[in-house]
Structure 1
């Protein structure tokens, strides 16, 4: 190489090195400038300050377990959204307004994100704090949420709060939470709306399928209060199995001295002779049961019937009895004299040697038909879809989903058995797409009910089983679900969700933000169906008194569904007497509001929100209900200007479900929700086939159509929701002609509703 060429090459390399050095110095300087702009003063502000627990929430216990400071938890930072008032106005005034030229003209998720996403500079500031102050690792980002993993030591320090371990006394589930308050830097208070995984405890509600009946819990309450003496020897009925003109019972035999027994071969030291059951308002039953005629007695932990074992387990927990305590299960009791849907008054006594007997125990139960999809399809005038497709046949583009939380799983074998039982093609089970964990060896009653009945009534559509187990410390499965729904690659048009909490147990910021997510869902054409709750107008955890609304059912942007039950007492005339003496028989079977007072295992939820105001689509409905029917309720019992719920109702009593290979009857608004979701799904499919948009946020449409086409709903006019799952309140919201906060506008008449919606589109 010539000297001149060598010189030019060396000069070029030197200039390049100088440029690189200058670039690096500039980057460092810029980083220092950025870091300086993100300096935090050290001043902290309390977050969700109104949402701190003065004591451990009911049902939960502190484990006092030592948690190492390097133990990892998950925290979800909800960033404040922009322009949500504009999007809400657009949804109400245009997208969901049947009178608008933009009716069901949905936005894309990109359009919504562009409109509502937080300011990028503010998001950067939060990311910087997470990385450099919290020492957290960002594991997931979605529209307006940042999910991080962080050591509990760093979380305690940075959020200035105390995390500890808690365990639910009934379910055994453990979570790491803080009782609050928790804090954020003052500079981030306008950036972060709340932090998930801090103060909210999951709703660890027990499934009703194996819980003892409410009469059992009444008995326990009377024992605790001293109304029944501790030495009382009246038998304890752990579970009544009320079927179609037949019944059976699970009983805890009590010895003469008030004690219980742990020796099934010599109950009460051999003095137990059997159980006598008699009906006091009919001659149908008068029987003494012993081992010789079918009474099966065994220690609870060795009980041959797995469902009975679940009930006695929970009875033992409530009564502080050992696992070896003896229970007895009767055979089926049937008689042509037994009638469905009318009160059956029963008295139980335990027999002892020498002809002695216990103090009697009395209760009232109701027999009734078990429900199958075909029964509801016929009653609600729904199409009897079969859902079977030949191989390679096109599948409808319609999509539906159920959401399950806190280790609620389903077994595909149970789903196939359910389809075989009700006469559907078991290959329909192949249509299920599972998102998240699903332990098929541990199916849950809630999940099995949801997936079996949504597919049983609307088979053949691609169905998503959305599972959020919430097993990682700090996770909030409900929060994770709604963010996943809005960021899924494919829009799922109809979601059925059986989940809820008291409004009073949640922070205002949390509910407002979740409500914003529902607004976004409606704006892209998604219908979210929520069960209205199973404790009537009461709380999941607070004593009876004022009404306690439930969220998310109280959100104006979900379709809240209450539960009904079959009855012959469907009009007020059935409860009066001619000339003050003569009963007026009512033999026609219809529907009433579901309640433990009339034989259901749950009471359908309903009431008025304390957080969300009355939406305009309800104005003419709830104002009339309040002025005409609620004037006798005490002041302060409910919020007269709140959003009322449910919107509609559907049957929720005696649904047959397959659980771990066993056939069980299940009650709940969690049965009504997938029933109503199937109605929406089928109408959506018919709209899609015509090239039209799905129903999306459907509430304004349903209320408008109900006013002009009252035949689309069967009005429910009997019953109320004053009771919970155990006790009854003095007040509640009655079912009346027209809209009410017990059954909404009524239950759907599919053919009329379908015609009204699709005619309205033409």
Structure 2
């Protein structure tokens, strides 16, 4: 594979490129300060290939957003009337003037149509060029930057475009993107403490939670599929394998979902699913190694619980190759140095029938993702929602920023050159077009405390209408001046909901372990959403699609309010869980039985 990529890279480098100057004067498009932790390391080889993604304005995105909220509002007469792939693409397609202007600019550098990769809606153009050519295109200078972790990437802190193109190009990346996508988070606890034998029942009296919900007390120490079905009132619901329904899990950073471990998990916790599996899709060359020693804790957690809860609903696992920080000086193959989300979005938006429920347990500090780029990623996720897909993200495990309540050692500083203390939201959890899932623990449930449920307020996205009432009520309950200047009180609040996120028993590399994080709560919640879609199909209704307008209106009564706990971080105790929505556990944890009644 490396040889093939090298050959492709060589061919691309052989493209004759004109050196004629662009017809318009260049003006700065974006300039940033290098984020904390990154320093200039060296100069990249001039022939180092880099894949540039050029975003053209989506001229009718405002119309798409209007459609999205209408088809997602349970009180609207269009509820559930999702758009087709072609209808969505027509709404985000750029204006012909933008296409013509950008094509003319690229042709001035010798590019032909065969050199361009266009998205189905033509709102993205990708070209692979040597760094030296990228520098001419963007009137900039790239450097190799090194992070304190040892990661390296090729970036610049500013770039320019001809003045006539500023209205025709929203952004070009990778340029100023210094993000470091990470799981949210796969922390394995007590590897040596987990017994090979699963005790599925306790001699203690069952825990009665009201409304007929009975939970075995063993669930206080180990979370299983059975525990989640008990706790969230889904015991006895029998889903079908209706081919119209589907659930998907995304995998990044070489996290492989092992089928042998999945079968052992099924044998132990979901015997009726034994010998069933998932469909695998490779994205941008991603693989799913079945070498047991390469099984990923994150990937195993995601597929075992999402698919264990939702069986026999058709299931898919996506493995996306690459990571943002992957530059190596001795490599001459094209480097994917964007957020991997873009590659996955490219792939999934091309599909005629993407999974109707998709869970992602990865995220990044919002401030490390340039605002214009974050908004384009979020707009791509909105396209999925308009097509009837429920997009679910974990909210993170670092509370309001770094999970640290000690002011002397907190690490929450802005990236705008001021280096002032500020809460750090998580992206894409902060995108208003996704459902963000926080974490709880114990029976009765409280906000998780071994790590801290990510939550707070976006600095990029304003508060959406659907959560205006709930969030304003919470903000009014805060004592005046609380955390003044540390968060954006006008921003999109997250998480939206929560679920158990600690002591999950999974099988990992042939042995049982406990694992925790909101990367557990997200696939668990997704599994329940897939069950709700099953119930809707049985009732001859459409998929749920974008969930939030439903959740914050009719759906509120379908959640167990969590009122105990907080999410430490940035030298503070963070926000408190409280009555109603809060930026720790959102609206609370799901009651499947009640939600089923609401959506059918």
- Hey, what does 1:517 align to over in structure 2? 380
Mapped to 2, the partners of 1:453 and 1:491 lie a distance apart of: 20
- Hey, what does 2:79 align to over in structure 1? 103
State the SS of the aligned residue for 1:623.
helix
2:391–2:435 CA contact under 8 A, matched in 1? yes
Render the CA deviation track for 1:593-651: whole Å, top value 9, x for unaligned: 112xxxx2x21011112222222221221111111234351322222222211111000
TM-aligned CA deviation for residue 169 of structure 1: 5.3
Pair 1:451–1:561, CA change in 2 (3 A): same
Question: Number of residue pairs matched?
Answer: 528
Q: What does 1:326-345 align with in structure 2 at a 5 Å threshold?
A: none
Mapped to 1, the partners of 2:384 and 2:479 lie a distance apart of: 33
TM-aligned CA deviation for residue 61 of structure 1: 6.1
Mapped to 2, the partners of 1:720 and 1:99 lie a distance apart of: 33
Q: Which of 251, 260, 263 lines up with 1:416 in the alignment? A: 263
2:438–2:454 CA contact under 8 A, matched in 1? yes
User: TM-score normalised to the size of structure 1?
Assistant: 0.65
State yes or no: 1:432 paired with 2:414: no
Larger Rg: 1
2:139–2:159 CA contact under 8 A, matched in 1? yes
Mapped to 2, the partners of 1:492 and 1:666 lie a distance apart of: 26
Mapped to 2, the partners of 1:555 and 1:376 lie a distance apart of: 27
Mapped to 2, the partners of 1:196 and 1:647 lie a distance apart of: 30
Q: Which of 353, 365, 377 lines up with 2:229 in the alignment? A: 377
State yes or no: 1:400 paired with 2:223: no
Mapped to 1, the partners of 2:342 and 2:101 lie a distance apart of: 23
Mapped to 1, the partners of 2:456 and 2:244 lie a distance apart of: 36
Pair 1:747–1:630, CA change in 2 (3 A): farther
1:713–1:749 CA contact under 8 A, matched in 2? yes
Higher RCO by CA contacts (8 Å cutoff, separation 6 or greater): 2
1:428–1:459 CA contact under 8 A, matched in 2? no
State yes or no: 1:187 paired with 2:29: no
Pair 1:164–1:737, CA change in 2 (3 A): same
Render the CA deviation track for 1:55-114: whole Å, top value 9, x for unaligned: 5x42x56553x643222121111111012122222322x212222111111111211222
Pair 1:162–1:134, CA change in 2 (3 A): farther
Render the CA deviation track for 1:257-304: whole Å, top value 9, x for unaligned: xxxxxxxxxxxxxxxxxxxxxxxxxxxxxxxxxxxxxxxxxxxxxxxx
State yes or no: 1:647 paired with 2:496: yes
Q: Which of 101, 119, 141 lines up with 1:141 in the alignment? A: 119
TM-aligned CA deviation for residue 424 of structure 1: 2.5
Q: What does 1:93-492 align with in structure 2 at a 5 Å threshold?
A: 94-133=70-109, 135=111, 137-143=115-121, 144-166=123-145, 170=149, 174=152, 176-205=153-182, 209=186, 369-383=221-235, 395-425=242-272, 427=274, 429-436=276-283, 437-440=286-289, 441=291, 442-470=294-322, 472-492=335-355
- Hey, what does 2:368 align to over in structure 1? 505
- Hey, what does 2:330 align to over in structure 1? none
State the SS of the aligned residue for 2:128.
strand
Mapped to 1, the partners of 2:461 and 2:186 lie a distance apart of: 33
2:187–2:517 CA contact under 8 A, matched in 1? no
Mapped to 1, the partners of 2:183 and 2:145 lie a distance apart of: 17
1:177–1:200 CA contact under 8 A, matched in 2? no
TM-aligned CA deviation for residue 539 of structure 1: 4.7
Q: Which of 612, 635, 640 lines up with 2:461 in the alignment? A: 612
Unaligned runs of 5+ in 1: 1-34, 212-238, 247-335, 337-366, 567-588
1:242–1:368 CA contact under 8 A, matched in 2? no
State the SS of the aligned residue for 1:142.
coil
2:555–2:598 CA contact under 8 A, matched in 1? no
Q: Which of 555, 578, 582 lines up with 1:740 in the alignment? A: 582
Pair 1:658–1:48, CA change in 2 (3 A): farther
Render the CA deviation track for 1:175-222: whole Å, top value 9, x for unaligned: x321311222222221111112222134253675567xxxxxxxxxxx
User: TM-score normalised to the size of structure 2?
Assistant: 0.81
Q: Which of 558, 567, 573 lines up with 2:434 in the alignment? A: 558
1:134–1:150 CA contact under 8 A, matched in 2? no
- Hey, what does 2:34 align to over in structure 1? 54
Pair 1:428–1:737, CA change in 2 (3 A): farther
Mapped to 2, the partners of 1:162 and 1:729 lie a distance apart of: 37
Render the CA deviation track for 1:732-761: whole Å, top value 9, x for unaligned: 110012211111111001111111121xxx
Render the CA deviation track for 1:686-745: whole Å, top value 9, x for unaligned: 2123321111111111111145xx3x111111000124xxxx732411001221111111
Q: Which of 22, 28, 50 lines up with 1:40 in the alignment? A: 22
Render the CA deviation track for 1:438-458: whole Å, top value 9, x for unaligned: 241322222221111111111
State the SS of the aligned residue for 1:47.
strand
State yes or no: 1:660 paired with 2:509: yes
- Hey, what does 1:750 align to over in structure 2? 592
State the SS of the aligned residue for 1:182.
strand
* Aligned-CA RMSD value: 2.9
State the SS of the aligned residue for 1:740.
coil
TM-aligned CA deviation for residue 135 of structure 1: 4.9
State the SS of the aligned residue for 1:48.
strand
Mapped to 1, the partners of 2:156 and 2:455 lie a distance apart of: 29
State yes or no: 1:83 paired with 2:60: yes
1:553–1:560 CA contact under 8 A, matched in 2? yes
